[in-house]
Amino acid sequence: MFRLDNKVCLITGGASGIGEAMAHVFSAQGGRVTVLDQKTGNLPHVTYQIADVTDAGAVREHVQQIEARERTIDVLVNCAGISHVGNVETTTSADMDRLFAVNVKGVFHCIQAVLPSMKKQKKGVILNLASIAASVGIADRFAYSMTKGAVYMMTLSVAKDYIQHGIRCNCISPARVHTPFVDGFLKANYPGQEKEMFEKLSKTQPIGRMAQPIEVAHLALYLCSDEAGFITGTDYPIDGGFIKLNS
């Protein structure tokens, strides 16, 4: 079950963190995986292409290269994204532009680029990475939450508009996930207090810990597999009880 044999999978932001875990799992399950990222990774049987998702022309060129090599694209996972800490007063216009360019327009560029191929073959799967921040208020995540809310609504819109073409579109909304970004954030902002702050952040999830990237990857695998063929237009929180059990 949950095989991706011979399915051509494009994963953005797949050189580290959650995206890297997805690239590993998808490849292990038979997918032919290409990663678009601003850096390369070291996973075997994965093709890496250096790309900036904020550049629509570059994204189209990369997608065309993949299609020329693989003939089609069956699965797109939009995992590339950046974070930001701040409220409405401390967020600058430049912050908003940067976050919108990557987290919103980057997703838009990739979806727009793969749709012609998916429409032609009358099937395809698009999976976007949203966040619990799209559903609940989180302190000092003003701009980041805005972008993830946009990703959520893009998911619903694409699912509605392309269901007749056999294209499914869903999103995943993780709570805190233990990635290198978290370690770097703690080191930069809480030097000498990393362990204490890590435990504090972990306990904001009722389950008492952060998710591991591989756990998010396993959910992504299911949603992109044929076994999830009846699922579209849905957001899947993977949050250790954060949304429902913290209220």
Using alpha carbons only, give the angle 243, 180, 96 rounded to the nearest 5 degrees.
Answer: 65
Closest CA to 114 of 66, 146, 152, 157: 66
- Active-site residue among 48, 144, 152, 236? 144
For 111-122, b where at least 16 C-beta lie within 10 A, e where not — what string? bebbbebbeeee
Please confirm, yes or no, whether 48 is among the known catalytic residues.
no
Is residue 107 within 8 Å of residue 129, measured between CB atoms? no
Are residues 78 and 126 in contact, defined by beta-carbon separation less than 8 angstroms?
yes
Where would I find the beta strands (DSSP E) of the chain? 8-12, 32-37, 46-50, 75-78, 124-129, 167-174, 235-238
Please give the DSSP secondary-structure letter assigned to residue 227.
G
Q: CB–CB of 44/25 below 8 Å?
A: no
CB atoms under 10 Å from CB of 93, counted, come to: 7
Q: Which residues fall within 8 angstroms of residue 34, CB to CB, at 6 or more apart?
A: 8, 9, 10, 11, 46, 47, 48, 49, 66, 70
Spatial distance between the Cα atoms of 120 and 166, rounded to a whole number of angstroms: 10
For residue 25, count other CB atoms closer than 10 A to its CB: 21
Q: Which residues are catalytic?
A: 144
